[in-house]
Amino acid sequence: MAKSKQHRRNKKTVAELFEKRTGVKYENHIQAQAVQKKIEKEYVEIVVPYATETTTQTINVIRWSK
């Protein structure tokens, strides 16, 4: 019985965190994957392999939303 209580608690936590992160109510894992793919398509990644003379770039990927 303890296992099923833990399972329900984990599912509730996942649903709460998903809704907080995306603003969409969690229904199931398939729906969650679709929402995540849509979010990923809204970003553009720019790879910057090195710092230039005029910048102090410390990361090599910049994410901009469209």
pLDDT tens by residue, 10-43: 888 989 998 998 898 999 888 988 988 888 777 7
pLDDT tens by residue, 50-66: 666 666 555 556 666 55
4 token code pair: 């099923």
Q: Please, which residues have CB within 8 angstroms of residue 35's CB and are 6 or more apart in sequence?
A: 18, 22, 24
pLDDT of residue 38: 84
Residue 2 pLDDT greater than 70, yes or no: no
Amino acid at the residue 18: F
